[in-house]
Amino acid sequence: MEEGEGVKSSNQPDIRLSSPFSWRGESFPPILDSESPDHLSRIRDLGIPYIFDIHTHFFPETVMKLIWRWFDNVNWAIGYRLPEKERVERLHHNGIKRFTTLNYAHKVGMASSLNDWTYANYKNWEGAIPFGTFYPEEGVLSYVKQAVDEYKFQGFKLHCEVSKLNLNHPELAETFLYLLEKQIPILIHTGTAPLPGEFTGIQFFKPFLETYPTLKIIVAHMGAHEISAYASLLSAYPNLALDTTMVFVDFLATGKIEEVDAAVSYLETYQDQIYFGSDFPNIPYNLNHPITKILDLPISDLAKQKILYKNAENLFFK
């Protein structure tokens, strides 16, 4: 499939039918060719001026295409396989006026060049909050310091599964202490969904959190498939938070029905420690879908305001 081409056209069978990941219900939520952001009036009614998406991805085009190839192999239909400029327009079209620039290294020697690339480009993406990444390797503290001091990055992203990264690796200790002292947030994919890795899961995360209890951490995907284990840490660690990325949606790659249904109550109880995330552009449905799903949940309007907008606003601009 060529760049810019829609994922499905009406005369082709939906490739989502043959994904190894399952779906809730019988029918699929709409995908790009029928995008209609009818959530815009609903958020306005809730007093939400715009949505803050804490989990959106930006990679150099060559890396992004390699990542899309992986998704293609599991029929994970990429809803927004578009040139970068159009992707940013799609975010704005859906009322997402602020968003992060997450990326991560797959190997040694890659993280600092990703940071350089983000720095060189993020000003073209209106509303972008620049995030860096790092990796257990020589020089890690120095390029992280550069990303903070010179590039003014406002957070970092780590991916324990793809990067085969152990959060407890001694080579990362100085960097974590530095980010703790600076109180710069780190968004971490530490959970076992959609696929477990060598260093994913609560057994790696808990000792890490105990070592740096006041580090500002956002756990991606609410820690699925161990949401309750991660959520149980929230009251004891006020600087810990979770993002809703791909959890409350009909695609069940990062949520199981029972796990997701049980997690709804956490959104109310821990409403100050939850951020909305989408995983854009690598989602097999419209951006409208995850937003509407949050709006439809049986939680208070105040919790929805905090999750869709206010918490992230406070994190970066207070």
Write down the least CB distance from residue 221 to Zn ion, Å: 8
> Do 140 and 171 meet the contact criterion of CB atoms below 8 Å apart?
yes
- Rule CB under 5 A: say whether 279 interacts with Zn ion: yes
The C-alpha atoms of residue 318 and residue 312 are separated, in whole angstroms, by 10
Compare residues 71 and 270 and give the one whose CB is closer to Zn ion.
Answer: 71
Segment interacting with Zn ion (CB under 5 A) among 91-99, 208-216, 257-265, 274-282? 274-282
Compare residues 180 and 308 and give the one whose CB is closer to Zn ion.
Answer: 308
Write down the least CB distance from residue 153 to Zn ion, Å: 17
Segment interacting with Zn ion (CB under 5 A) among 46-54, 67-75, 177-185, 272-280? 272-280
Compare residues 282 and 299 and give the one whose CB is closer to Zn ion.
Answer: 282
Which residues, 6 or more positions from 224, have their beta carbon under 8 angstroms from its beta carbon?
A: 191, 192, 193, 246, 247, 254, 255, 256, 259
Segment interacting with Zn ion (CB under 5 A) among 23-31, 58-66, 107-115, 278-286? 278-286
Compare residues 191 and 299 and give the one whose CB is closer to Zn ion.
Answer: 191
- Rule CB under 5 A: say whether 53 interacts with Zn ion: no
DSSP codes joined into one string, 125-166: STTEE-EEE--SSTTHHHHHHHHHHTT---EEEEETTTTT--
The C-alpha atoms of residue 134 and residue 26 are separated, in whole angstroms, by 41
The C-alpha atoms of residue 151 and residue 122 are separated, in whole angstroms, by 11
The C-alpha atoms of residue 225 and residue 255 are separated, in whole angstroms, by 6
The C-alpha atoms of residue 25 and residue 61 are separated, in whole angstroms, by 34
Segment interacting with Zn ion (CB under 5 A) among 143-151, 170-178, 255-263, 276-284? 276-284
Site for Zn ion in 10-29 (CB under 5 A): none
Residue nearest to Zn ion (CB): 279
Which residues form the interface with Zn ion (CB under 5 A)? Answer: 279
